[in-house]
Amino acid sequence: MRPMIVLLVGLGVAVPAAQSGPARTLDIYYVDTEGGQSTLFRSPSGETLLVDTGNPGQRDLDRILDVLKAAGVTRLDHLLTTHYHGDHYGSLLDLAKRIPVARFYDHGENIEKREAFTAFKTAYEAISRDKRTVVRPGDRMQMAGLDIRVVASNGDVLKANLPGGGIPNPACGEFKPRQEVVDDNHQSAGFVMSYGRFRTIDLGDLMWSKEFDLMCPINRIGTVDLYLTSHHGLAQSGGPVLVHALAPRVAVMNNGPRKGGAVEALQILATSPGLEDLWQLHWSQFGGLEHNAPGAFIANMDDLETTVGVLTALATPPAPAAPGAGQPAAGARRGGGRGGAAAAAHTPAHWIKVSARQDGSFTVTNTRNGFSKSYAARK
């Protein structure tokens, strides 16, 4: 059995000085990458972790840089790439040219043989040489004041119980396998982060079957306060064996207007025990009026004309299919899962910010409208 390792900042190199002085909260910034992922964590000591870098191109790069500036970040102490799909690693190389990165983390080799990935791999290995760590389940990423445990990586999942875990998961009995194409989503590196009594989880695009492997028959993680929806709220992830067992108080969905935000995923969240609120980076055109969160909880909205058009189309019964015409399969992917920035840029692009305290309480803020809601510590 591979022993658990501790991933020390710089692997013996002096820990970098905190930026802009210490904070009293763990601050989390969910960047709008139109259904990709880029999430900034700024610890109470000032250390930084960026998880994923959104899609390629200037749009997401500028949005990430805007958030770094707003957070007072001038260097990244840690940069974790959950997996090798373009909506997660797309801006990494360009970002590394704009801001220093002390350490890189990933799950290891890409199991997909894609020609487009070859150039990125060569450049990534060059810039991360002597600064790269491949993470495995059970590893701990070291940031002062935080406990960060890797729970999935490279197709493997955690086999030991975290504090608060080790209980039977009743949702496992209702689990139904699905047909899946085994790709790099299955290899996603995911972690649980704790700051005192506050706990949050980010699993990248870990798939339905791997969620079962992680959470069944024993829930080794326990519960969390804040859950970033797996796979942008697509129906291929975020099943009850994960979501209902984690019993988050708050979920943040990193969806785009036409990527993620699937009705099935929204329904699973709505029925999750103890869920108080869902916050979304975008209003989902698939969710309509019935399934989206209230507007105050949504960071980016379509313009009125687009919204009216979507709602009108949803209210209009579809025309009968021509004889022999194919129909989309139930649960079919909408919006893709490997990147490719389909959504047009809009300005400004708003983010969602979470400020968590050591006692387990936290506040979520929608930067579009300034709306904030505070959540008291769990009893």
Identify whether the C-beta of residue 268 lies closer than 8 Å to the C-beta of residue 240: yes
> Residue 334's Cα: distance from chain center in Å?
18
User: Beta strand pairing status for 78-80 and 218-219?
Assistant: unpaired
pLDDT tens digits, the chain, 379 residues: what are they?
444 444 443 333 334 444 444 458 999 999 999 999 999 999 999 999 999 999 999 999 999 999 999 999 999 999 999 999 999 999 999 999 999 999 999 999 999 988 889 999 999 999 999 999 999 999 999 999 999 999 999 999 999 999 999 999 999 999 999 999 999 999 999 999 999 999 999 999 999 999 999 999 999 999 999 999 999 999 999 999 999 999 999 999 999 999 999 999 999 999 999 999 999 999 999 999 999 999 999 999 986 566 666 666 666 666 554 444 443 333 333 334 454 445 567 889 999 999 999 999 999 999 999 999 999 998 8
Asked if 66 and 59 touch (Cβ cutoff 8 Å), the reply is no
Q: What is the fold of 22-314+348-374?
A: Metallo-beta-lactamase; Chain A (3.60.15)
Rounded Cα distance between 80 and 87, Å, is 14
Report the alpha-carbon distance of residue 6 to residue 11 in Å, rounded.
10
CB 191 within 8 A of CB 141: yes
